[in-house]
Structure 1
Amino acid sequence: MSQDSTLPDYKRQSPEVARRFAELKERPVKLDVRSLGKTFDSAKGPVTALNDISFQCHRREMMGVIGASGCGKSTLIRILAGLETPSQGEVLLEGNAVTGPGPDRGMVFQSYTLFPWLTVKKNVMFGLEMTGNSMTAAEREARQWIELVGLSKFENSYPHELSGGMKQRVAIARALANRPKILLMDEPFGALDAQTRASMQAYLLEIWRHIDLTVLFITHDLDEAVYLADRILVLKPNPGEVLEMIEVPVARPRSADQFHDPEFLATKDRLEELIHPKVQTEKIELPIVRMTEVGDDVE
């Protein structure tokens, strides 16, 4: 690690990691978010969900977004997907304004959003056929992505026959089948148990390593954010604003063995500090009357 003791632990980068970030910043900008704002009307008047959000995501970058409840994470990703319209600012994808949903963005939600009446193969083919591919071309393309996520043996199975992790792999394959310019993921593994979640994180990293893919994902899991991301955008709540952009100093390729590395723990501690700042609380004195003699003192 760098010997610069003036830097906090989460900012100290090994020469290898520093080179990686220098190279990342030289890549083309995939996603350019400029002064983004979103205000909703309510019975009590306008409510600002997002205010002056600006950042860039580069080609082949894996970017995480975290923040406390009320910071507008889901609103942000819905705007990026074209499912919400911003009140101010703009979103550019490879220089083109995002004005609505489109096949240039793949979207994976926390719920699996699969069509229960379609097989795995037909689910992955659906978007391909909707964008004008013939059935033969759609089937050929779908099978490539199904194989990539390791589900070739289940291509004729229905969603109810799959585990949660397998369903989410199908959702990822379907999102990638149209070869989007960026993959957007909103808490994609939040509904999974811990073991399956860990497996899905490893699957995502393996997919990302083998294809030209840029990913922006929302998560509330700090371990997941540090494990997956190159950089982490931290939002503060009420209204949602950029609090900090953190460059993750953990070397790639990543593995679960790194969860206890000093740089991993230092980054996680910094995220915890930003999202859940320590506050001074007053000692509460209540007029409690002891109702029985317990014979000991618990404090």
Structure 2
Amino acid sequence: MNTDLALPDYREQTPEVAARFSRLVERPVALQVSHLTKKFETPRGIITALDDVSFSVHKRELLSVIGPSGCGKSTLVRILAGLESPTSGELRVYGEPVSGPGADRGMVFQGYTLFPWRTVKENVMFGPQMSGTPTYIADSEAREWIELVGLSKFENAYPHQLSGGMKQRVAIARALANQPRVLFMDEPFGALDAQTRCQMQSYLLEIWKNVDITIVFITHDLDEAVFLSDRILVLEANPGRVNEVVQVPVPRPRSSTQIFDPTFLGVRKHIDNLIHPPGQEQKEAPVLRHAISDPDVV
């Protein structure tokens, strides 16, 4: 994809898009992260993975987090989900302080993490059953979530009988069945082929449109971040710090044809420049040879 063409300033907005962002910031703050720092002790000393990270996410917003390798994306989302503790800083969900896992937050990983001995419906039922929901209610609600992700015909199938995209839809349904207020997704489509990944992005937007949920989406894919998001949190690396929070002025509803739109390309180029500043010296890749050099092979 050629992004060297003259592209519009990504901050240019139509009145409709400006109104959308105005409505966004008027919503309640669903997630507030304040001065979050995470340090790890290693044999070579203390490593700072995240340094003084602060940002907020509004109700029903879809915010992506992106950055270069080593910026702490996965560490950040694990802290937000309560799976790790920060060294310092504060996390609040709808104003309430968070110190560990909770039903108000759901998590979808890159791996499918489904129980192989349970059917699709039984996987989706698991969370509500563990929280004390009667089986007949959990069964009924699971069917509704399975229908939402388009897998009603497969509710009695086992994970090994499903494709990768279908497994991830089950994982999303299982997370939503617990009715979290915020859903964290850690590169959930990273293991899928390109075609399935595009389909899953569209599925996610459709699900998000129909469910009262706020989403924080971790990705390394620039196109994916722009296509999905209201805003994009761009992190610096070593240590992970907030570089910029970028508004995405691409109109909604989104479609795959928009990836060729000048506005889409303008946002993408701006984020790419944040992650890989122009003129930044790139390390040369090592040359590995496992055969005699052939001048006819280039």
User: For 1:185, what is the secondary structure of its paired residue?
Assistant: strand
Deviation at 1:96, TM superposition (A): 1.0
Deviation at 1:178, TM superposition (A): 1.1
Matches within 5 A, 1:103-182: 103-182=103-182
* 1:40–1:8 CA distance, 2 compared to 1 (3 A): farther
Gapped regions of structure 1 (runs ≥ 5): 1-6, 285-293
Partner in structure 2 of residue 192 of structure 1: 192
TM-score (norm 1): 0.91
Partner in structure 2 of residue 10 of structure 1: 10
User: For 1:10, what is the secondary structure of its paired residue?
Assistant: coil
Larger Rg: 1
Partner in structure 1 of residue 41 of structure 2: 41
Partner in structure 1 of residue 89 of structure 2: 89
Partner in structure 2 of residue 230 of structure 1: 230
User: For 1:41, what is the secondary structure of its paired residue?
Assistant: strand
Aligned length: 281
Q: Supply the distance in 1 between the matched residues of 2:182 and 2:86 (Cα, whole angstroms).
A: 19
- 1:172-191 CA distance string (max 9 Å, x none): 00000011001100001000
- For residue 16 of structure 1, what is the amino acid of its counterpart? E
Q: Supply the distance in 2 between the matched residues of 1:61 and 1:113 (Cα, whole angstroms).
A: 25
- 1:13-39 CA distance string (max 9 Å, x none): 111100000000000000000000000
- For residue 76 of structure 1, what is the amino acid of its counterpart? L
Instruction: Indicate if the aligned counterparts of 2:8 and 2:262 stay in contact, CA closer than 8 A.
Output: no
* 1:281–1:67 CA distance, 2 compared to 1 (3 A): closer
* 1:196–1:137 CA distance, 2 compared to 1 (3 A): same
- 1:41-75 CA distance string (max 9 Å, x none): 01111110001100010001000000000000000
Deviation at 1:279, TM superposition (A): 3.1
Matches within 5 A, 1:275-290: 275-279=275-279
- The 10-residue stretch of structure 1 (256-265 or 270-279) with the greater mean CA deviation from structure 2: 270-279
- 1:74-97 CA distance string (max 9 Å, x none): 000000000000001010001111
Deviation at 1:130, TM superposition (A): 0.7
Instruction: Indicate if the aligned counterparts of 2:35 and 2:90 stay in contact, CA closer than 8 A.
Output: yes
User: For 1:136, what is the secondary structure of its paired residue?
Assistant: helix
- For residue 85 of structure 1, what is the amino acid of its counterpart? S
Matched, 1:31 2:47: no
- For residue 125 of structure 1, what is the amino acid of its counterpart? M
Gapped regions of structure 2 (runs ≥ 5): 1-6, 285-294
* 1:130–1:198 CA distance, 2 compared to 1 (3 A): same
- For residue 270 of structure 1, what is the amino acid of its counterpart? H
Q: Supply the distance in 2 between the matched residues of 1:54 and 1:229 (Cα, whole angstroms).
A: 19
Deviation at 1:278, TM superposition (A): 2.8
- 1:202-231 CA distance string (max 9 Å, x none): 000001111211100000000000000000
Percent identical across equivalent pairs? 65
Partner in structure 2 of residue 289 of structure 1: none
Instruction: Indicate if the aligned counterparts of 2:8 and 2:263 stay in contact, CA closer than 8 A.
Output: no
